Amino acid sequence: MISVSMHKQLMDIYNKLYEHFGSRHWWPADTPFEMIIGAILTQNVAWRSVTVAIENLKQEGVLSLEGILSCDRSELAALVRPARYHNQKAKKLQVFCSVIAEEFGGNLDAFLAQEMGTLREQLLEIYGIGPETADCIILYAAQKPIFVVDAYTRRIFSRLGIFPEKIKYQEMQHFFMSHLPSDVELYNEYHAQIDALGNQTCLKTKPRCGECPVMGACSARGEILQK
């Protein structure tokens, strides 16, 4: 059951973020496959570096299931080098593509069409895919209603005093999904707005509190501003 007061508070935050940042048009990808490749490559690196790696794959004509599987591992690693940890990420890309090729006959749509719980379990069994990456794929590629949380979510909402800083991933996710309606478009845009705030304003050190659209609701603002 959704708490009316918490739902209102979360939607007030969302509306202020949306008014400030506008629609984020996230996830930026031409196809579900490209989105998934981006989700794997963006682990532990800024998105701008991922765009360079994806462009490299496009220019070489290997941004496809067949292309990545046919690419020599070292050559693939060189193409995704801008996304850092290139050897590990090249392996992750090829392992993922192998699962789709071998277990689903290369049919990515069939893989993504599975029931959400089943899809999440299978994603988490694939080498190199953790909860955040799996949930991004479910929300943005499969278009299923799961709320994606990350380090920005923890930082922002702990500073807002809504939950503790040491909260676990699954607890954060449950919190949002318990207090917001199950809606793909809302979950999509809300996560994008949180990441915009965390990336541009609510920084880990020296946050730009004067530019924050939700500063009025921030229980940590006095402490932060004094540092």
The string of pLDDT tens digits covering residues 96-115 is 999 999 999 999 999 999 99
pLDDT band at 222 (very low <50, low <70, confident <90, very high): low
CA distances from 50 to 81, 88, 92 (A): 9, 14, 15
Domain final residue, candidates 119, 141, 163 = 141
Same domain, yes or no, for 40 and 133? yes
Neighbours of 223 (CB within 10 A): 10
Residue 101 buriedness (CB in 10 A; 0-12 / 13-18 / 19+): middle
Domain that holds residue 70: 32-141
- What span, in angstroms and rounded, lies between the C-alpha atoms of 117 and 215? 36
Question: Structurally, how many domains does the chain consist of?
Answer: 2
Domain final residue, candidates 111, 141, 171 = 141
Same domain, yes or no, for 61 and 75? yes
Same domain, yes or no, for 76 and 108? yes
CA distances from 85 to 14, 40, 42, 78, 212 (A): 34, 11, 10, 11, 33
Mean per-residue pLDDT, 91-97: 98
> pLDDT tens digits, residue range 143-168?
999 999 999 999 999 999 999 999 99
